[in-house]
Structure 1
Amino acid sequence: MGLLRSLATAAASALLLGLHGSDSVASAASTGVAEQHRVSLRVFFRAFCPACQWFVGDPLLELVRTEEYRNIVNLTLIPAAGMKEKEDGSVTCEAGPLECAGHRWQVCVLDNDRDDVVKYLGTIACIEGDESGQVGDWNTKVKNCLTDEERVVVKECFDNRSKDLLVKVRWLASDSVDAEV
Structure 2
Amino acid sequence: MDALRLILILSLLSFSSSAVAADNGGEKVTLGLYYESLCPYCSNLIVNYLYKLFESDLISITDLELIPYGNAKVHPNGTITCQHGPYECLLNTVEACAIDVWPDVKDHFPFIYCVESLVYQHNYTYWETCFEKLGLDASPVTDCYKGKRGTELILRYAAKTNALQPPHRYVPWVVVDGQPLYDDYRNFAYYICKAYKGTTKPTACTGLSFGLIRKVKMNLFDTLYGDKISQSKLFEAVQAILSWLQRNKTVASL
TM-score range, shorter chain: 0.5 to 0.7
**CA-atom RMSD, angstroms?**
2.8
More deviation, 124-133/157-166: 124-133
Q: Given residue 164 of structure 1, which amino acid in structure 2 is its aligned partner?
A: E
Query: Do the aligned residues in 1 keep the contact of 2:21 with 2:28 (CA within 8 Å)?
Result: no
Partner of 1:129: 117
Q: Deviations over 1:105-128 (max 9, x none)?
A: 10011111112x133111101011
C-alpha separation between the residues in 2 aligned to 1:126 and 1:32? 33
Structure 1 residue 45 corresponds to structure 2 residue 35 = yes
Q: 3-state SS of the aligned residue for 2:20?
A: helix
C-alpha separation between the residues in 2 aligned to 1:172 and 1:32? 36
Partner of 2:67: 78
Between the two proteins, the alignment pairs up a number of residues equal to 144
Q: Deviations over 1:24-67 (max 9, x none)?
A: xxxx82645646x321111011112222112112221121353x
Within a 5 Å distance, the mapping from 1:58-77 to structure 2 comes to 58-66=48-56, 68-77=57-66
Q: 3-state SS of the aligned residue for 1:171?
A: helix
Aligned with 1:164 (options 127, 145, 152):
152
C-alpha separation between the residues in 2 aligned to 1:146 and 1:133? 20
Partner of 1:20: none
TM norm structure 2: 0.49
Identity over the aligned pairs, expressed in percent?
Answer: 24
Q: Given residue 51 of structure 1, which amino acid in structure 2 is its aligned partner?
A: Y
Offset, 1:93? 0.5
Rg: which structure is higher? Answer: 2
Query: Do the aligned residues in 2 keep the contact of 1:107 with 1:166 (CA within 8 Å)?
Result: yes
Structure 1 residue 147 corresponds to structure 2 residue 135 = yes
In structure 2, relative to structure 1, the CA distance for the partners of 1:64 and 1:85 (3 Å cut) is farther
In structure 2, relative to structure 1, the CA distance for the partners of 1:157 and 1:145 (3 Å cut) is farther
Query: Do the aligned residues in 2 keep the contact of 1:29 with 1:72 (CA within 8 Å)?
Result: yes
Partner of 1:102: 91
C-alpha separation between the residues in 1 aligned to 2:146 and 2:134? 16
Query: Do the aligned residues in 2 keep the contact of 1:46 with 1:103 (CA within 8 Å)?
Result: yes
Aligned with 2:20 (options 12, 29, 37):
29
C-alpha separation between the residues in 2 aligned to 1:33 and 1:61? 25
Query: Do the aligned residues in 2 keep the contact of 1:85 with 1:91 (CA within 8 Å)?
Result: yes
In structure 2, relative to structure 1, the CA distance for the partners of 1:73 and 1:148 (3 Å cut) is closer
In structure 2, relative to structure 1, the CA distance for the partners of 1:65 and 1:31 (3 Å cut) is farther
Higher relative contact order, structure no. (Cα contacts within 8 Å, ≥ 6 residues apart): 2
TM norm structure 1: 0.67
C-alpha separation between the residues in 1 aligned to 2:90 and 2:74? 15
Offset, 1:133? 7.9
C-alpha separation between the residues in 2 aligned to 1:175 and 1:59? 20
C-alpha separation between the residues in 2 aligned to 1:148 and 1:39? 29
